[in-house]
Structure 1
Amino acid sequence: MTRRSSARLLLTLAALAAGPSLAADARADEARQEAPSTIAVVSAPGDRFGLRVVAELESLGFRTVILDPAADEPASRAFLEASARDAGAIAAIRAVPSGGGVEVWIADRVTGKTVLREMADDAGDAGAPGRDAALALRVVELLRASLLEAALPAPPPGELPATPEIREKLRILAPAALADAPSPSPPPPALRVSLAPGALLSPGGLGAAASLDLGVAVMPSEHVGVVAFTAIPLTGARLDRAQRSVGLSVQLTGAGVRLTTRADRWAPSADLGLVVVSLHGAGMAVRSGFGDGESSAMTVAPFLRLGLAFAVTPRFRLRADVLASAIVEGVSIQSAERDIATWGQPMMLSSAGVDLGWF
């Protein structure tokens, strides 16, 4: 065997011998990279407080690794960051005794911050189980508060990204999702004013009349409020007969309670109350059970009004309403002392217009 052949054989044997070790190291490095939610706890083995912190972290689903610090190694940012990197962890925690309790160091590689916090010992003697549990829980909450900064629209720059696994464990949104998340919708305006043309109709011989419906609604709560409205006549209901033409002008003024549902776009409503009906006749006598006059009368009736609003903006809506009512004793329209028509059993006002919110 030549010298060159011997050297080649030795290299081959050395590579075969080192293969398992290199493969193991590669698998360890790969496992380390695939453990994005590992937390390093720098604590002496068997330390009760360190073990309690580990238990709290593992209850949240984090993987943990305990690192034994050198006896003379002081707590510092450089030491913690190096410990986290060596362990392939996203953060390292170390707690050292202090005069008033414990001094907690947290190196967070996701936000690139190192947090130092003095935690007072308010739970009893050092080493007591209750004391360890209370302080460990506060340490974990301090870590969570630091990691939650990764959800800010402009998160602090760190060595590692906040992976989906970390976000799932902490229930935090990605910055882009947080920026795109819809903000809570403001409450709708409590005072609304409506303006709507409409048509007033009642069977009994007279035709329909045009009116202008003006309304005000005050909604101190989302579902219940009060309303008031008036329907101003624009034209009168007319009846044309041979050699005689008569007309009736009707104004409605009402108030009641509004029931509605909160909706982003569509808002149905129902109004219940009483309406005062004022009638004025031209060329006729108007008589009702509530009050009589040669050409005018007034009466009161209950009403039900159903409405539907569509919100173009929170303050500007399009709405339509239908009001139904009935005068109990009815209204008699007389000409030459003879009844020629009746009105108000029942009556209906339909309107469509705009609804404006102010406050």
Structure 2
Amino acid sequence: MTRRSPVPLLLVALATLAAGAALAAGAHADEAREEVPSIIAVLCAPDDRFGLRVVAELESLGFRAELLDPAAEPATRASLEASARRAGAIAAIRVVRSDRGVEVWIADRVTGKTVLREMAGGADDGGAPDRDAALALRVVELLRASLLEASLPAPPPGELPATPEIREKMRVPAPAGEPAPALRFSLALGALLSPGGLGVSASADLGLAWMPSEHVGIFALAALPLSSARLDRSHLRVDLSALLAGGGVRFATREGWLAPSVDLGLAVVSLWSSGKVVSSGFTGGDSAAVTVAPFARLGVALAMTSGLRLRADVLASVIARGVSIQIDEHDIVTWGQPILLTSAGVDFGWF
């Protein structure tokens, strides 16, 4: 039996600990970088009334401001950015008096931009506190406009990431669009089918919906026959025309570019049939029937504009006992167990 030296195992353990410490240090550094405090450095003399006014405006908006004395340091982009770094600030502001008013320098480390604006008015006129307040507010708004770029979907690359505090302050609510109309009229072409021997018939589908609330409303519909369902064999021919009209409750949403809906209601079904036996010369008969059937309809609307949408629906219903069509006292076809109506078209909104 051989005895292994503990030295290799000790070296592996030390290497593992060193790697873990390095990863922890890196994570801590990243966390510290993400948690840079949202400080705004204001470069002005301690007794500069206008600089103090800018600080007051910043603090009134919830920013944390720190005064820095620029002394005789020239107003340049490099010096302003260096001052912001020394203060650990996300941005620095400096106002320099000029013959025409004041020059405002803003170094924004979040967006990586330095802004220079000349504003009319004097911060040194010594007797216009209202003018100082208005000018200080314009300076702060200029900073806010620069920081707003950090909330864009693709913000400009900056020296520092936007802190959670800045992202919250600069969050811009989505513009409120015009509310979707509550009253809508629909026009569609449909295909009506009931398995039982007859074919498919075409229909013109009309609808009217009123959505006084966001998710619940009422509706009415009518499916007018454009063709008849036909059974055509060598010795007989049967035609059936069906009209559906009814209404009920709609569960849907008025807002959004895609609006699904569920309709539940009751329909009156009116049927007309005619048939003849071809092989025996002519034997024909016409009949009509009216019945009531519950139905459910699933739909989806795709908004093109606030007032115009593309719409598709599938309706399912069933007549309890069905309708039988007889020729020479023999049941030829049945209809209504179940009923399927598919349609596609447009709907228009008014108000």
8 Å Cα contact 2:232/2:238 also seen in 1: yes
> C-alpha distance in 2, partners of 1:196/1:304?
18
* Residues 55 and 255 of structure 1, relative CA distance in 2, 3 Å threshold: closer
Q: CA deviation at 1:65?
A: 5.5
For 2:141, the equivalent position in structure 1 comes to: 148
- The counterpart of 2:214, out of the listed 209, 214, 222, is 222
Residue of structure 2 in register with 1:318 after alignment: 310
Please list every run of 5 or more consecutive structure 2 residues that lacks an aligned counterpart in the other structure: 1-38, 71-82, 85-91, 96-101, 106-116, 147-158, 277-284
Whether the aligned pair in 1 keeps the contact of 2:262 and 2:296 (CA below 8 Å) is: yes
Tell me: CA distance 1:63–1:231, structure 2 relative to 1, closer, same or farther (3 Å). Answer: same
* Cα distance in structure 1, aligned partners of 2:321 and 2:56: 82
Q: Which of the residues 238, 244, 248 maps onto 1:252?
A: 244
> Secondary structure of 2:129's partner?
strand
Query: Where does residue 129 of structure 2 map in the other structure?
Result: 116
In the alignment, does 2:60 pair up with 1:62?
no
User: CA, structure 1 residues 37+108, in 2 after alignment: closer, same or farther (shift >3 Å)?
Assistant: farther
Identical pairs, percent: 46
Q: In the alignment, does 2:179 pair up with 1:187? A: yes
Return the offset for 1:270: 1.1
Q: What does 1:193-232 align with in structure 2 at a 5 Å threshold?
A: 193-232=185-224
Cα distance in 2 for partners of 1:55, 1:185 equals 32
For residue 298 of structure 1, what is the aligned residue in structure 2? 290
The yes-or-no answer on 1:335 pairing with 2:333 is no
Residues 315 and 333 of structure 1: CA distance in aligned 2, closer, same or farther (over 3 Å): same
- Cα 1:295–1:108 change in 2 (3 A) is farther
Tell me the equivalent position of 1:38.
Answer: 42
CA contact (8 A) 1:282 1:295 kept: yes
Indicate conservation of the 8 Å contact 1:60/1:169, yes or no: no
- In the alignment, the residues of structure 1 paired with residue 168 and residue 207 of structure 2 have an alpha-carbon distance, to the nearest angstrom, of 51
What is residue 123 of structure 1 aligned with on the other side?
A: none
| Alpha-carbon spacing, 1:218–1:145, altered in 2? closer, same or farther (3 Å) | farther
Q: 1:272 to 1:56 in 2, by over 3 A?
A: same
1:187-211 CA-to-partner distances (Å, cap 9, x unmatched) read 2122222111111000111111111
CA contact under 8 A between 1:224 and 1:258: conserved in structure 2? yes
Tell me, yes or no, if the aligned pair for 2:58 and 2:64 is still in contact at 8 Å: no
Which secondary structure does the structure 1 equivalent of 2:64 belong to?
coil
SS of the equivalent of 1:147 reads helix
Equivalent residue letter for 1:346: P
Q: How far off is 1:228 after superposition?
A: 1.1
Amino acid at match of 1:271: D
SS in 1 for 2:140: helix
Please give the per-residue CA displacement for 1:314-358, whole angstroms capped at 9, x wherever unaligned.
222222111000011211212223222111110000011122222
Give the letter aligned to residue 42 of structure 2.
T
Give matches, 1:31-180, under 5 Å: 37-38=41-42, 60-64=63-67, 90=93, 109=104, 112=119, 116-117=129-130, 147-148=140-141, 168=166, 171-172=169-170
Q: Classify 1:143/1:256 alpha carbon distance in 2 versus 1 (closer, same or farther; 3 Å).
A: farther
- For 2:135 and 2:167, locate their aligned partners in 1 and report how far apart those are by CA, in whole Å: 15
Q: Which has the larger radius of gyration?
A: 1
Return the offset for 1:229: 1.1
Q: Deviations over 1:126-145 (max 9, x none)?
A: xxxxxxxxxxxxx9x99667
- The answer as to whether partners of 1:259 and 1:271 remain within 8 angstroms in 2 is yes
5+ residue gaps, structure 1, are: 1-34, 68-86, 93-106, 119-138, 154-162, 285-292
Give the partner amino acid of 1:38: V
Change (3 A) 1:146 1:228: farther
Distance 1:149-1:305 versus aligned 2 partners, 3 A rule: same
Q: Distance in 2 between matches of 1:342 and 1:109?
A: 85
Q: TM-score, normalised by structure 2?
A: 0.56
Q: Which amino acid aligns with 1:147?
A: V
Structure 1 144/39 Cα, relative in aligned 2: closer, same or farther at 3 Å? farther
The alpha-carbon deviation at position 258 of structure 1 amounts to: 1.5
Alpha-carbon distance in 1 for matches of 2:344, 2:57: 67
Equivalenced residue count is 243
Q: Is the 1:61–1:169 contact (alpha carbons within 8 Å) kept by the matching residues of 2?
A: no
- The offset of 1:151, in angstroms, is 5.4
Deviation at 1:275, TM superposition (A): 1.0
Map 1:221-300 to 2 at 5 A: 221-261=213-253, 264-283=256-275, 295-300=287-292
Return the letter of the residue paired with 1:63: E
Q: 1:352 aligns with which of 322, 326, 344?
A: 344
- Kept in 1, the 8 Å contact 2:46–2:67? The answer is no
